[in-house]
Chain A
């Protein structure tokens, strides 16, 4: 038992360090890419402000160059034109329960927020349980596809895990590309923007810089359907990656064990727990 906890503690610490390094490097790259564009945007903003204020007052223009006034004002005003009618609110609930959380729509009343917490505490596990069931169906479908591939291409007759992973990735790509095409058509976005939006949604990151505004029933149904399908497929891909990383970590720690001779082994039961938590 003691060994098992030590192993987990070391694994947790090691992965934490890896994550930190990864973040540090990523941050530098993000900064390098985005900083110059931001300067450009700030100039655009000040120009826009200048243009818009021309009709108002000289004094305004001078004072409002200081952004802090605008912050206060803009923070107080909503940036969304959707009202809380039934269908958009369903989409909002979806963003809560999937943990995507776009943020173009969010509760502002205290009661609304309190209810949101309550809604999430029940809804998130509920949704994840449902996803688990759907994921099984999808996994069965993918296995079936692999079987058909094998009979068509005539290869070995056992289940090959790599083939399954590849088919899963292809399936995921198809879902992303199809949904993006539909979004481009329906929302009028550039195809790359749609793909980016789809990716950000399916990973549940959900920045909210882009969000759907179409308002017909078919669209709502398709949106919910594709979000669920996408969460499952991309979720499976990411989960497979997580397992691969864990296996890699086991390999590394086993190698280290030879060198250090201590109990550094990440045991098999740890990995299944890791999968469980994820």
Chain B
């Protein structure tokens, strides 16, 4: 899968660095013209642009993380909160991160406790969503078979994921940063909620003009992880359920130990969504 993906990405993205340097040069040239409005000689402008480009390239190579996202003081309290959330959710935006040894050591300890804590919350929220979905559908029709309940909850989680992606994108575009296109916001939302978090674009840069909005966004991000986690978990479970006899035959587990722990866990899971306080419906043909 990785190999195939690599071929596709390679084809799609090859050569884009040069394109971006070209775009960068255009931006630099514009700055040059702004600074020297009276300069009319094309040659001079080109020369200054080339000089400034090499300056930028050297700055980019210098590795000073401060230069990438302009911030007056990223490490205000809000910056600390941003990094804390970014760490504990494992998104790891990467536009702001600790660089001192003390900060890094603290981060290690902070995550060892914070990540399980956050996962615990996400777990409970996800379980709550799943139970609520199940309860809602149980109310309507008492005679759901187990598998259709599972499918229902899966569909509900997918619906939640799509809804939250759309709503969050709208918030990012209209609430936080109008310059972003809707597609960019959507992509950013997706990358955040899956906790991939590329970090070429975080949503906080040290600009403390919008404290309330940034804090609100941080909280929303944490909460929004639950539906996607639930969705991914359900898909994994479905794959494992379908594959479990096959895997068992492959000798994935030692015979005798909490055997195909997978099968046992899957049965447990099926039991959970199987409306245990209702009588089994005789015909599962639904």
Query: What residues make up the interface of A, taking CB atoms closer than 8 Å to B?
Result: 1, 4-5, 8-9, 11-12, 15-16, 18-20, 22-24, 26-31, 33-35, 37-39, 41-42, 44-45, 48-49, 52-53, 55-57, 59-60, 63, 67-74, 76-81, 83-87, 89-90, 92-97, 99-103, 106-113, 115-117, 119-120, 122-129, 132-133, 136-137, 140, 143, 192, 196, 199-200, 203-209, 224, 238-239, 241-242, 244-246, 249, 269-270, 272-278
Contact A102 B94 (CB under 8 A): yes
Contact A269 B272 (CB under 8 A): yes
Query: Interface centre among B79, B191, B265, by most A CB within 10 Å?
Result: B191
Whole-angstrom CA separation of A137 from B20 in the bound complex: 45
Whole-angstrom CA separation of A76 from B57 in the bound complex: 12
Whole-angstrom CA separation of A242 from B73 in the bound complex: 34
Contact status of A18 and B121, CB under 8 A, knowing A28-B77, A37-B100, A38-B73: yes
Known: A106-B198, A204-B92, A238-B112. 5 other contacts (CB 8 A): A23-B81, A44-B64, A56-B52, A80-B17, A136-B262
- What residue of chain A has the Cβ atom nearest to residue B100's Cβ? A37
Residues of B contacting A205 in the complex (Cβ-Cβ under 8 angstroms): 86-87, 90-92, 111
Whole-angstrom CA separation of A59 from B236 in the bound complex: 60
Contact A120 B196 (CB under 8 A): yes
Contact A34 B75 (CB under 8 A): yes
Contact status of A8 and B100, CB under 8 A, knowing A123-B1, A125-B235: no
Of A53, A111, A203, the residue contacting B55 (CB under 8 A) is A53
How big is the B interface, by class? 35 or more
- What residue of chain A has the Cβ atom nearest to residue B181's Cβ? A110
Residues of B contacting A72 in the complex (Cβ-Cβ under 8 angstroms): 27, 31
Whole-angstrom CA separation of A192 from B146 in the bound complex: 51
Residues of B contacting A77 in the complex (Cβ-Cβ under 8 angstroms): 20-21, 23-24, 56-57, 60
Contact B123 A275 (CB under 8 A): yes
Contact A107 B272 (CB under 8 A): no
Of A79, A192, A207, A277, the residue contacting B126 (CB under 8 A) is A277
User: 26 A-B residue contacts at CB 8 Å?
Assistant: A1-B138, A5-B128, A5-B135, A11-B124, A12-B128, A19-B114, A26-B114, A27-B80, A48-B62, A70-B70, A76-B26, A89-B10, A97-B2, A103-B93, A103-B94, A103-B199, A108-B20, A109-B12, A109-B13, A112-B12, A116-B187, A122-B1, A143-B257, A199-B111, A274-B126, A277-B130
